[in-house]
Structure 1
Amino acid sequence: MLNEKQLRALKPREKEFTLSDDGQRGVGRLQIRVRPGGAKDWLYVYYLNKRRRKVGIGAYPSISLADARRKAAELSGHLSDGDDPAKIVREKRAASETSYGTLGDLIQAYTADMKERGRNTADEVMERCQRYVKGPFPALWSKPAKEVTSGDIRDILAHHIKRGLTTTTNRLRSWLHTAYQYGLAIEHDPRRQSVIRWELETNPVSVVPRQADWERQGERVVSGNELSAAWHGLPQYSPAAMALRLVMTTAGQRPQSLLRLRVENIDFDQGIIEIPAAASKNGQPHVVPLNEYSRDILTYLCEKALARHSPLLFASPKNPDEHIGITSVPHLLGKWQRDGKRERWSPRDVRRTAKTVLGQLGVSKEDRDRLHGHAMHDVSSRHYDRYDYLAEKRAAMQVWAAWLNGVINQV
C-alpha cells in the first residue's frame, strides 16, 4: 500500500513507471505514474469488456493520496454499477468547461480578494450584497455573471429605491461595478488566474447611472441630548447597543474596528485598546486610550467572552467564531429612532461629533486626528517621527470623557 513518505521519495527514471496502491480485483486500481521529467500523476486503471483502460485523476501532490483514493473509490462505484468511469469523467469535464461563475460567485471572489488585500470592509460588502441582492433576487444571484444584463442591475437598484434606500443604493451599485471590474481584470491578468471561468466581456453596471444627488458629505453633529437619549434608551446589554456605547465612549472610533476586537486586544494594565492593522481602515495598528466608561464596558465584554470561551468581544449568537454583523449597530439605532419618531443620526456621526467637540474644547487638530487613527501624510510623520503620542491621546480622551460624563448624567 502506498504512503505519503514513499510518494515523496519517488525518483524519476529513464522511462516512466507506475506503482499500484492495494485494491480488490474487479473494482479497478489506483496507480501513481512517475514520468522521466519528475512529474507524478494519478491513474485509475480498470478493465471493461476485457479491455484495460485508465483515467487520469490529477497530479501529485496537488491531489493527495487520500483524495486520490476517494476519487478512485468513486470511480470504482460507477464501474460496479456497470458504467464506464472514463465516460463519467468526460461528461463531468464537459459540464465544468461549459459552466461559468454566477453573480454570487463573482461577488464572493471579489470580497475574498478584498480580504487578501487587507480590506477590512470585505465582510460588510458581502453581508450587504447578500441582503440586497441574494435575498430579494435569488435567481439573479445564481445566474451566470456573464449573462447578467444592465437591465438586471437597473431592476435591483430600482427595487431598493422604491423601498426608500438612497445612498445605500449607490453603495450597492459601486460594489457590483467593482466586482465586475475585478472579474474582467483577473481573467486577463497573466500574473493572476481565477479558478472560476467568467468569460466577461463588458461591465453591465457601467451604463447604469449613479444617483449623484444622493451623494453628500456627512454634516451631522449629534447633540448631547441625542447621545444621552440613546445611551439610556437602548437595551442595556444588547451586543449592538454595547457596541454603540463603546463607539461613544471611545470618541467615535470606527464601529467596524470595534466589532472585530478580541480579548487579547484589551490591555487593562496599560489602559489601552490595541486595534490591529487588519481591523484598521488605513491598514496601520492603532492604540486607543481607555477612560472610565470604556473600561467598564470592556470589562463586562471581556468577562462575557471568557465565560463563553470565545476570543471575540462581539461574537455572533449564531456563530461564536464570527463577530456580529457590521450592519447590526446602525440597524438597532435606526429602529429605535423610527419607533420613537426621533431625528436620525448614525454611529459614524459620533466620530464627527467628537472631532467637533474636542476642537471646541481646545484639543489640537493633530491630536484629534491621532486619537482617531488618521494616517499622517506629511514627510516628517511618514518617515521620521516614531513617537507614539500616547500621552497626547490620553489627554484628549480625558477631555472627551469629561464632556461625555456631563452629557450622560445631565438632569
Structure 2
Amino acid sequence: MARIPLNILAVRSLKPAAKRYDIGVAGYKGLWLRINPSGHKSFMLRFGQSGKKMMLQAPWTDLAAVAAECAELRRQFRAGIDPRDARERQQAAARQQQQAQESRLTVQRLAERYLDGHACFKRSGKEDGRMVRVMVLPALGDQYADEVQRRHVRELVEDVAQRAPAAANRLLGLLHKMFNFGIEKDLVTMNPCAGLKKPGRETPRERVLDTAEELRAFWALTDPAAGKLPEHAGLALRFLLLSGSRSGEVCGMTWAEITPEADAWLLPPTRSKNGKAHLLPLTDTMREIIASRPITERPIFWSPAARLDSHQLAKLLREAMVKHWTGQPFRTHDLRRSAETGMAAAGVLREVRDQVLNHAVAGMGAKVYDRFDYMPQKRLALETWERRLHALLTGSTAKNVTPLRRPRSA
C-alpha cells in the first residue's frame, strides 16, 4: 500500500479525486491523510485492533503539530485511555469554561443593570448614565466586575481628579453605588470602592452677581434683542436669577406645571431634588418671561428646533461669556446663589429663603409637623428680591425694598 512521507511537499502534491480517499503516512503507525473531493485535507489516527478512527485537530498545514498530537493520542491509548473519550471530556470542560466566562459579569454589564434597575428611577439617573459612558466604560468596561480591585478604582478617580476634582468625587460615589447595587442583587461579592476617600479637594463656590455693574451686564447678555444668547436660553437664565431655582428644574418646566391663574409654578416631586412638590409664586417679571414663550406641549424654555437641559444651558452660557463677558466668569448655579444673597441683603429671613429655594429642612418639627406652604412669605420674598434687582438694574432708589423682619414673640 502506498504511503507518503510526512513533509509539506508530499502532502501538497496529493490531488482530490471524484471520491474521498485515504493514504497512510510513513513512519507514523496508524496515521492517515484524508483527501476530500473538495480538496480539503485532514489527518486521522487509527488505533486498536478494531481500527477505531479519530480525526486530528491540528491543521494539515502544521505538520509539527500533527506529529505531536499523533504521539499524544498514541500515548493515551498505550496508557489504557480511549483518546476519543479523553477528547470528549476535554471539549466538555472547555464548553463549561466558556459558559462560565460568558456568564461572568463585565463592568459594562453591571453598569447597564445598575442604570436600568436603579438609576433610571432617580433624578440623577441621566447624569449617572453620562458618567458611565464618558468615564467608566472607556477605563473599566471590558473588565470582569469581580476582578476590579481597589487599585483600579483609585487609579481611575485619581486620574480624573487631576483635571476635575469635583467630577472625581462624583465618579467615586457613582462606582460605590453601582457595586453596592451589584452586591444587593448577588451580581458581585465585594465593593472595590470600600475604604477609598474622595480624591478631589473641593472648594465651595462663592461667586455671586451682587453689584449693579455685574447685574446690568448680565441683563444685557441675556437680552433677547441683543442676540448674544439664543432667546430661549437668555430668558431661562433670567428666570434662574429671579426665582433662585435649579437650572434643571427650570429647563424642564412645562405649561402643565403653571397654575391656571398663572400666579405660581408647581414643581412635581418627580422633578424636585428633595422628592417633594414645590409651589413657587411667580412675580410680574417671571410671568412676563413665561408669557413670551409659545404654548406647546414641550417644556417652556425649549426652542422649536432644539431641547434645553442644564448641560446645554451651561454650554450656551460659557460660549456667550467667551465672546461677550469681560468680568469674572460665572456658572448657572451661581445665579441661584446670587438670588439667595440678594434676598438676604433685602432682609429676607433664612427660613423663608430656604422655602423659596426648596432646600431640605432640618429638624423633626420642620420635617414632620410643619405643613404650612409659606406662600405669602415666599411671594413677598421674591417680590422684594425683584424690586431690589430692578433698583440695581435701573439705578433707581431702593427705598421701596422692605426688609422682612422676624415677627416679635408675644
TM-score range, shorter chain: 0.5 to 0.7
Shift of 1:159: 4.3
- Asked if residue 248 in structure 1 is aligned to residue 233 in structure 2, the reply is no
- Asked if residue 391 in structure 1 is aligned to residue 383 in structure 2, the reply is no
Deviations 1:62-111 (A, max 9, x none): xxxxxxxxxxxxxxxxxxxxxxxxxxxxx99x859833443333334334
Give the distance between the partners of 2:378 and 2:340, measured in 1 at CA: 13
- Asked if residue 130 in structure 1 is aligned to residue 122 in structure 2, the reply is no
Given residue 246 of structure 1, which amino acid in structure 2 is its aligned partner? Answer: F
- Name the residue aligned to 1:233: 221
Give the distance between the partners of 2:376 and 2:149, measured in 1 at CA: 56
The 1:186–1:160 alpha-carbon spacing in structure 2 relative to 1, beyond 3 Å, is same
- Name the residue aligned to 1:328: 312
- Name the residue aligned to 1:218: 205
- 2:359 corresponds to which of 374, 377, 385: 374
148-157 or 346-355: which moved more?
148-157
- Asked if residue 275 in structure 1 is aligned to residue 260 in structure 2, the reply is no
Given residue 238 of structure 2, which amino acid in structure 1 is its aligned partner? Answer: R
Root mean square deviation, CA, Å: 3.4
The answer for unaligned runs of 5 or more in structure 2 is: 1-94, 223-227, 397-410
- 1:300 corresponds to which of 292, 295, 315: 292
Shift of 1:169: 1.9
Shift of 1:277: 0.6
Give the distance between the partners of 2:161 and 2:322, measured in 1 at CA: 19
The 1:156–1:381 alpha-carbon spacing in structure 2 relative to 1, beyond 3 Å, is closer
Q: Is the 8 A contact 1:241 1:332 kept in 2?
A: no
- 1:203 corresponds to which of 191, 195, 204: 191
Given residue 175 of structure 1, which amino acid in structure 2 is its aligned partner? Answer: L
SS state at 1:215 partner: coil
Shift of 1:286: 0.3
Give the distance between the partners of 1:132 and 1:245, measured in 2 at CA: 33
Given residue 141 of structure 2, which amino acid in structure 1 is its aligned partner? Answer: W
- Asked if residue 289 in structure 1 is aligned to residue 294 in structure 2, the reply is no
Give the distance between the partners of 1:158 and 1:140, measured in 2 at CA: 14
- Asked if residue 405 in structure 1 is aligned to residue 390 in structure 2, the reply is yes
Give the distance between the partners of 2:120 and 2:153, measured in 1 at CA: 27
- 1:121 corresponds to which of 101, 109, 124: 124
Give the distance between the partners of 2:170 and 2:150, measured in 1 at CA: 17
Q: Is the 8 A contact 1:227 1:407 kept in 2?
A: yes
- Name the residue aligned to 2:153: 153
The answer for unaligned runs of 5 or more in structure 1 is: 1-90, 188-197
Q: Is the 8 A contact 2:119 2:128 kept in 1?
A: no
Larger Rg: 2
Give the distance between the partners of 1:316 and 1:105, measured in 2 at CA: 36
Q: Is the 8 A contact 1:243 1:258 kept in 2?
A: yes
- Asked if residue 362 in structure 1 is aligned to residue 350 in structure 2, the reply is no
SS state at 1:278 partner: coil
Q: Is the 8 A contact 1:102 1:142 kept in 2?
A: yes
- Asked if residue 313 in structure 1 is aligned to residue 300 in structure 2, the reply is yes
- Asked if residue 165 in structure 1 is aligned to residue 157 in structure 2, the reply is no
- Name the residue aligned to 2:103: 99
SS state at 2:293 partner: helix
Shift of 1:231: 3.4
Give the distance between the partners of 1:241 and 1:336, measured in 2 at CA: 10
Shift of 1:407: 3.8
Shift of 1:325: 3.8
- Asked if residue 181 in structure 1 is aligned to residue 180 in structure 2, the reply is yes
Deviations 1:171-223 (A, max 9, x none): 12221222112212222xxxxxxxxxx3x2332334654225x2233333333
Give the distance between the partners of 2:311 and 2:340, measured in 1 at CA: 23
Given residue 378 of structure 2, which amino acid in structure 1 is its aligned partner? Answer: K
Shift of 1:158: 4.5
The 1:205–1:379 alpha-carbon spacing in structure 2 relative to 1, beyond 3 Å, is closer
Shift of 1:273: 0.7
The 1:343–1:104 alpha-carbon spacing in structure 2 relative to 1, beyond 3 Å, is farther
Q: Is the 8 A contact 1:176 1:205 kept in 2?
A: yes
SS state at 2:265 partner: strand
Q: How does 1:77-96 map to 2 (within 5 A)?
A: 95=99
- Name the residue aligned to 1:141: 141
SS state at 1:267 partner: coil
Given residue 271 of structure 2, which amino acid in structure 1 is its aligned partner? Answer: A
Give the distance between the partners of 2:289 and 2:157, measured in 1 at CA: 39
The 1:109–1:403 alpha-carbon spacing in structure 2 relative to 1, beyond 3 Å, is farther
Given residue 370 of structure 1, which amino acid in structure 2 is its aligned partner? Answer: Q
Q: Is the 8 A contact 2:232 2:301 kept in 1?
A: yes
Given residue 230 of structure 2, which amino acid in structure 1 is its aligned partner? Answer: Y
Give the distance between the partners of 2:237 and 2:183, measured in 1 at CA: 39
Percent of pairs with identical residues: 24
Deviations 1:324-364 (A, max 9, x none): 44322333333444555642332222222222221221212
SS state at 1:124 partner: helix
The alignment's TM-score, normalised by the length of structure 2, stands at 0.62
The 1:239–1:103 alpha-carbon spacing in structure 2 relative to 1, beyond 3 Å, is farther
Number of residues of Structure 1 aligned to a counterpart in Structure 2:
295
